[in-house]
Amino acid sequence: MVSPAPATAVGAGTPSVSEMATILARILHRHGQGVLEDRRCTLGLLRDHAPNETRGIRLLMAAYDMDLPKKLTSESGAASEFRIEQEVSRLVADSGLQSDLARWAADVWSSAILGTTPDSAAPRAAVATAAAAASPASAAAKSMSVDDLTWGDDAPATPQATGAAPAAAPPIAPSYAPAPSAAAPANAANIATLAKKPTARYGLIAVAIVSTIFGLKSYIGTGGETPAPTQPTTQPVQPAPTQPAQPTQPANPSQPNLVVASASDDVSDWPEFSGAAHPNNNSNQWQFQFNLRFGDGRIMAYNVFVDMDGGGRSGTGSVRALDSRHLNGGSDMVSSTPSLPVTRELQSSSKIYFNRIVTSSWAKNPSRAPNVCVVFSSGNQQRFSPDNGIFCAFELQGNTCGQKIGCGRL
């Protein structure tokens, strides 16, 4: 959460979050949340209960028109701060609101609907602050995260040298909570449709990924023509001690905060997984992590590490996986692959690079991780960008990528 003090206003003409949330909560208490089904009534009530807060009401209604209250009311239990972060980013991207104003609106709605008081929202501020501290600019914080979030003793502390196949991925634990989603046009949605077809093979997957990337051009900022969307000034890039994201935290798959890659066709539904990075500031190396939910209900955390050659045309990589049920002290349950080939293809018309790693074999697999085909890209940059990437994981059927399991953003 960016706002340093959730109870504060975001500028002249806008009431504090707590003031407006109190008013909104009073309305909802009096009329029930069903009143939110009626836009006219909602607006009328806001005007009647806060006649002097024209600006604030407009902000709230902008969020209302983006279905924010509906999404919040559909939450089971309190929405995670990361979920709210997602909504803030969506508001920024889709409505053009400034991030602080979007955050104000999201905070008011969430406080009023979910009953969280601004005070109880304080941990969110801590999360955001910690997230900022965990950014690459903060080496100390990053180091702490790396040290604290190791999966187990079998994970090497540092990746191997460039060009060498890493025996295992670097010890950065997966992030189970989504960072804010950035602008994600929904017009590239049919990736899954393509991928789901029985005949879909690498070519189709490639097309699908490329289609997705086309749709995400503004998000990725490829080509230099479309500026990247406005991002919140602070993002929960990586969990930090104040909001422990150690594997122990999301151990229970039933926890609502355990975010998994989305099987949605709508790119805007794809969650963002934090923690993608260049290990050792080596731009040829890239690591990222995500969670996948499988058909049997299991949620597996995956950690991918790739190391491309100098030309960026190919490379090697490895994947580790852990059944989320074993996240708590389950270092013995970490599955890991041997060195695997990473292939890269350039989609000629779009100049989009997409990469693929397939867990065709496992060095050890105590978590019984299913084989997956992971296709990922960061747009038209020859070198990976740790941010603004996308990925999709598919079931491995034979030697080919089969049905989509889920996609996400990095």
Partner 1 sequence: MSGDVMNAATGPELSTAGLARRQLHFILAVDCSGSMMGERIASLNYAVRSAIPAMRAAAADNPENDVLVRVLRFADEVKWTVETPVPVDQFEWTDLTAGGETNMGAAFVALAEALTPEKMPGRQLPPVLVLLSDGLPTDDAEAGLAAFMRSPFGAKAIRLAVAIGSDADKALLQSFIGNSDVKPLQANSAETLVDRIKWTASVPMKAASAPVGSSADNVQNLAQGVASENENGGELVW
Interacting residue with partner 1 among 41, 144, 165, 167 (CB under 8 A): 41
For position 298 contacting partner 1 by CB under 8 A, the verdict is no
- To partner 1, the closest distance from the beta carbon of 42 in angstroms equals 9
Give the position of tokens 């050659």: 309
For position 26 contacting partner 1 by CB under 8 A, the verdict is no
Straight-line distance from the first to the last Cα atom of the chain, in angstroms, rounded to the nearest whole number: 19
For position 13 contacting partner 1 by CB under 8 A, the verdict is no
- To partner 1, the closest distance from the beta carbon of 85 in angstroms equals 32
Question: Nearer to partner 1 by C-beta: 20 or 195?
Answer: 20
Interacting residue with partner 1 among 44, 96, 163, 203 (CB under 8 A): 44
Query: Alpha-carbon distance 40 to 49, whole Å?
Result: 14
For position 52 contacting partner 1 by CB under 8 A, the verdict is yes
- To partner 1, the closest distance from the beta carbon of 145 in angstroms equals 49
For residue 186, the number of C-alpha atoms closer than 13 Å in the C-beta half-sphere is 8
DSSP secondary-structure letter at 124? H
Question: Nearer to partner 1 by C-beta: 4 or 32?
Answer: 32
For position 49 contacting partner 1 by CB under 8 A, the verdict is yes
- To partner 1, the closest distance from the beta carbon of 91 in angstroms equals 22
Kindly report the number of other CB atoms within 10 A of residue 368's CB atom.
Answer: 12
Beta bridge partners of 314: 343
For position 59 contacting partner 1 by CB under 8 A, the verdict is no
For position 47 contacting partner 1 by CB under 8 A, the verdict is yes
Q: Which residues make Cβ contacts (< 8 Å) with residue 363, sequence separation at least 6?
A: 167, 336, 337, 338
For position 197 contacting partner 1 by CB under 8 A, the verdict is no
Query: Alpha-carbon distance 12 to 122, whole Å?
Result: 22
Query: Alpha-carbon distance 273 to 291, whole Å?
Result: 9
Interacting residue with partner 1 among 12, 48, 199, 349 (CB under 8 A): 48
- To partner 1, the closest distance from the beta carbon of 68 in angstroms equals 20
Give the position of tokens 């499988």: 294
- To partner 1, the closest distance from the beta carbon of 49 in angstroms equals 6
Interacting residue with partner 1 among 2, 45, 192, 369 (CB under 8 A): 45
Using the rule CB under 8 A, give the single segment among 37-45, 70-78, 79-87, 374-382 that binds partner 1.
37-45
Q: How many residues bind partner 1 (CB under 8 A)?
A: 11
Strand boundaries in 283-361, DSSP class E: 285-293, 299-308, 314-323, 335-336, 340-347, 352-358
- To partner 1, the closest distance from the beta carbon of 44 in angstroms equals 3
Cβ-contact 378, 277 below 8 angstroms: no
For position 40 contacting partner 1 by CB under 8 A, the verdict is yes
**Collapsing DSSP states into helix, strand and coil, what is residue 110?**
helix
Question: Which CA distances in Å does 278 have to 252, 286, 317, 386, 393?
Answer: 29, 5, 13, 6, 21
Question: Nearer to partner 1 by C-beta: 45 or 79?
Answer: 45
Per-residue tokens: 236: 């929960």
Using the rule CB under 8 A, give the single segment among 48-56, 109-117, 171-179, 382-390 that binds partner 1.
48-56
Q: Which residues lie near partner 1 (CB under 8 A)?
A: 40-41, 43-45, 47-52
